[in-house]
């Protein structure tokens, strides 16, 4: 058989749109969010369970959670939040058009993506491009877009306790949040900016078009 070279062209992020923004704080609350569709494969229940640990067990009150996405399970997750006693700390934003999704990322102090399956972390890169530290699970393509302890923190999937502990560390360490966020922005600029990814794709196509 003939062996052919495999070339990878990553999905790019528009770093002129997804970029850090000074947060206007109406309070001292730390905003944590997951910018995904409401689906169990993205670990939504695990996030809610972790938030209960933070609020009820660790008594951390200066936090809020925002979840984007609609879907058939939206009401179910609202019920889960109510059952866990954290409804007052959770905002379900519903479907957010892509043209407005950067504004959601820019609200965040911490982004959490504890998926149990995920092909590629586009949302993770968008958060990083906005200078937001990320917490992701070690599944699918997520570890490809996070440098452990440099741009974010990688944990095992299906582990609300680990999510809660990692979030607690970040909540109480603003310097760590700032360092991970700054490194994340630089990481996206160097490896996943839209312009660089398009240039790479064009180079590969022109180089191999007539082979």
The mean pLDDT of the chain is 89
Percent of the chain surpassing pLDDT 70: 85
The pLDDT tens digits of the residues spanning 33-44 come to 999 999 999 999
Question: How far, in Å, CA of 132 to CA of 27, rounded?
Answer: 19
| DSSP line for 66-133 | EEE--STTHHHHHHHHHHTT-GGGEEEEE---HHHHHHHHHH-SEEEE--SS-S--HHHHHHHHTT--
The pLDDT tens digits of the residues spanning 123-138 come to 999 999 999 999 999 9
- Supply the pLDDT for residue 208: 58
Considering just the CA atoms, what is the radius of gyration of the chain in Å? 18
pLDDT band, very low/low/confident/very high, at 71 (cuts 50, 70, 90) = confident
| DSSP line for 11-39 | PPB-TTTS-------SSSPEEEEE-S-S-
112-123: average pLDDT: 93
Query: Which pTM value belongs to this model?
Result: 0.89
- Supply the pLDDT for residue 7: 46
For tokens 């890169």, the residue is: 125
- Supply the pLDDT for residue 49: 98
Residue 8 pLDDT > 70: no
Copy the structure tokens of residue 140.
């699918």
Residue 111 pLDDT > 80: yes
Percent of the chain surpassing pLDDT 90: 78
pLDDT band, very low/low/confident/very high, at 200 (cuts 50, 70, 90) = very low
Residue 74 pLDDT > 80: yes
Residue 196 pLDDT > 80: no
- Supply the pLDDT for residue 23: 74
The pLDDT tens digits of the residues spanning 122-180 come to 999 999 999 999 999 999 999 999 999 999 999 999 999 999 999 999 999 999 999 99
26-37: average pLDDT: 90
Question: How far, in Å, CA of 44 to CA of 160, rounded?
Answer: 10
Question: How far, in Å, CA of 32 to CA of 38, rounded?
Answer: 16
Measured CA angle at 134 (ends 63, 38), to 5 deg: 75
pLDDT band, very low/low/confident/very high, at 15 (cuts 50, 70, 90) = very high
């Amino acid at each position: 058989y003939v062996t052919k070279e495999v070339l990878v062209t990553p999905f790019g992020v528009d770093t002129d749109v997804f970029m850090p923004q000074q947060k206007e704080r109406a309070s001292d609350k730390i905003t944590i969010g997951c910018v995904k569709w409401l689906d169990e494969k993205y670990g939504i229940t695990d996030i809610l369970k972790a938030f209960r640990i933070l609020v009820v067990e660790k008594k951390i009150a200066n936090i809020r959670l925002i979840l984007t996405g609609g879907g058939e399970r939206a009401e179910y997750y609202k019920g889960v939040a109510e059952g866990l006693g954290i409804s007052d700390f959770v905002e379900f934003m519903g479907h957010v058009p892509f043209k407005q999704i950067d504004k959601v990322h820019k609200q965040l102090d911490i982004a959490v993506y504890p998926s149990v399956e995920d092909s590629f972390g586009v949302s993770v890169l968008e958060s990083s491009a906005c200078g937001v530290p990320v917490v992701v699970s070690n599944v699918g393509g997520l570890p490809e877009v996070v440098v452990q302890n440099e741009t974010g923190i990688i944990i095992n999937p299906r582990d609300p306790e680990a999510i809660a502990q990692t979030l607690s560390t970040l909540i109480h360490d603003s310097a760590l949040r700032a360092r991970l966020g700054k490194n994340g922005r630089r990481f996206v600029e160097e490896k996943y900016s839209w312009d660089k990814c398009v240039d790479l794709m064009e180079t590969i196509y022109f180089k191999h078009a007539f082979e």
